[in-house]
Structure 1
Amino acid sequence: MPKIVDAAERRRHLAEAAWRVILRDGLEQASVRNVAREAGLSNGSLRHMFGTQAELLVFAMNQVVERIERRLEALDSAGDPRATAERFLLELLPLDRTRQEENLVWLAFTARALVDPELRECAERSYDALRAGCRRWVTAIAGDRVDVEQEADRLHALLDGLAVHAATRPEVATAEKLRSVLAGHLDTLAGLR
């Protein structure tokens, strides 16, 4: 009897193999051959799931976004807006190994998206979703006391900047520091500082 393969699970497995290659060797090494080898599969098996390297990379990039979205969906949005915003926004920062790896992979994809139209589309959707989330939390915390659009841009820039700092200078941009900077900014929005 032939082995039944769960296609969705196989695709996730391949995306994770692509992330491992990217983390270890860089995005330019995430070829079909290298990802298949990392996943313990033949090139043909990978090509059965993804016709091109571009399809694989787009899927792998989207998997980073979906993992983050699943974590956010699992959070309780009830309670004090300032505390709730912090709980949600901390999920976006690279505070543990899993999120650090997601952050590094995401930054590699984002850099490639500057020259790859297929990846750019995913990056732009994610950018828009994060900007909308920032607007939501600024509105919830500060309401009409602030220029919501400007403060949403500031919060978005803060999150992006912290993620880049954590990737490029992890010994300086520690999890404790990231938490502190975000908390200080949210306190300012809430009028607590």
Structure 2
Amino acid sequence: MPKVVDPRIRRRELAEAVWRVVRRDGLEHASVRNVAREARLSMGSLRHYFASQSELMAFALRLVIDGIEQRIAALPSDGDPRQRAARVLAELLPLDDQRRAENEVWLAFTARAMTDPELRALRDEGYDMLRAGCRGLVAGLIGPGRDPEREAARLHALLDGLAVHAAVRPDVDTPDALRAVIADHLSELRAPRTTDAPTRS
């Protein structure tokens, strides 16, 4: 009797095969043929789960978003707001193998999203979710005189920058270094905003 495979499990396995091909060979090599070979399936079997390469790519990117959402949802919601923020932000940075894979895949797909409407919609969804998350985190942390929207944008930019730096130079921007930068930023958010000194003419 042939083995019965849960379609949800198979689709996830194929998406993870996309991740491996993208990380090893680049997104341009993540063809249906190469992904099927990576997953040790025939192209016909792959097309049983995904009708097109575009659908497969979109599912692979969706897996990044869903994984981050699920980990954040599982975090304890009580305790000190700064500790809560640090825990949430840690799930968004490449601090272990799983998060490094997500980060590299996300960065690779960002460029493709410029010309792929389905990927662009997912990219924009991820962007909007991250900005909303930053907005929620800084709301309970900022000191007097600070603009919540500006601080949310600043935190968002910091996260994006750290993610890129860690992908480019993981030997320099190590997990400990990333955590230290985030800790410094969260501490700085609590301080009152200082007025810029007037310039001398």
TM over 0.5: yes
Spell out the pairing of 1:81-160 with structure 2 (5 A cutoff): 81-142=81-142, 145-160=145-160
Q: Considering only CA atoms, is the larger Rg found in Structure 1 or Structure 2?
A: 2
Partners of 1:157 and 1:149 in 2: CA distance: 12
Paired residue total: 193
Partners of 1:75 and 1:104 in 2: CA distance: 23
Preserved contact between residue 82 and residue 190 of structure 1 (Cα < 8 Å): no
Amino acid at match of 2:58: V
Give per-residue Cα distances to partners, 1:92-113, cap 9 Å, x unaligned: 1101122111111110011111
Bigger helix share:
1
> Tell me, which stretches of 5 or more residues in structure 1 are unaligned?
none
- Secondary structure at the aligned position of 2:77 is classed as coil
Cα offset, 1:3, TM superposition: 2.8
State the identity as a percent: 62
Partner of 1:55: 55
- Secondary structure at the aligned position of 2:183 is classed as helix
Preserved contact between residue 64 and residue 102 of structure 1 (Cα < 8 Å): yes
> Tell me, which stretches of 5 or more residues in structure 2 are unaligned?
194-201
Preserved contact between residue 112 and residue 119 of structure 2 (Cα < 8 Å): yes
Amino acid at match of 2:113: A
Partner of 2:183: 183
- What is the TM-score of this pair, normalised by structure 2? 0.92
1:79 paired to 2:45: no
Cα offset, 1:117, TM superposition: 1.2
